[in-house]
Amino acid sequence: MSVRGVLSTAVNVVLAVLPELAMAAFFAVTWVSPTALDPHGPRVCAALFFIEFLSMHSTPFLVGSDKNGTGLFVVLLYSPFIIFVAILVKSLWPLCVFSWHVLTNVWSFPSGPDQRPRAANQHWVVTLLLFLGAMTLTCSFPWPALGWNEQSAPGLAWSASQKYHVFPVWGVTYFTMSAVAAAVRELRRGSRRATPAPELS
């Protein structure tokens, strides 16, 4: 691989990983101090969980369809719900996350008409496995609540059986694993670009 190819791959890795790590950092800080980054941090964590679930399932339709206007239709279909959630939790984070998801999907997938559907379906499978894996890890261990309690996370229906800190735990786990997956994806693409195509005899 040439120096230019290495630099190009490194830039793509950084651009793919940074948004995931930023989200993991948001959940990590909110886990320690629920209102440090947003006065409605606990509600935002719960909202982002469901928005990521919706966004994950929109990927094949958003970038994988070869029909013109399908991606725009998906954005228009989901936008009112995302806006409603943002108003409900009184935060712009849901809008930012959904916009980031749309932009990164448009940027990160191959431009070829034959490659995009396959890449979108592969991305959906990987994301689904990461989502379920993060949920499994979150529910399998007695994670500490850290800063989450009735005083620091107001607005939630607290009881002895409620463990709302599972939302930031899931966020840290899911987006950290997503960052690793994004780095691997870009490294593999860089390796494929560096490999010369076989000559036809």
Cα–Cα distance between 159 and 57 in angstroms, integer? Answer: 32
pLDDT of residue 200: 47
Cα–Cα distance between 33 and 44 in angstroms, integer? Answer: 13
pLDDT of residue 147: 79
pLDDT of residue 122: 79
pLDDT of residue 109: 62
Q: What is the DSSP string of 70-118?
A: HHHHHHHHHHHHHHHHHHHHT-SHHHHHHHHHHHHHHHHS--STTHHHH
Cα–Cα distance between 27 and 154 in angstroms, integer? Answer: 17
| pTM score, whole prediction | 0.79
Are the C-beta atoms of 93 and 44 separated by less than 8 Å? Answer: yes
pLDDT of residue 160: 42
Give the residue ranges of the chain where pLDDT is below 70: 1, 59-72, 101-102, 104-117, 150-163, 193-201
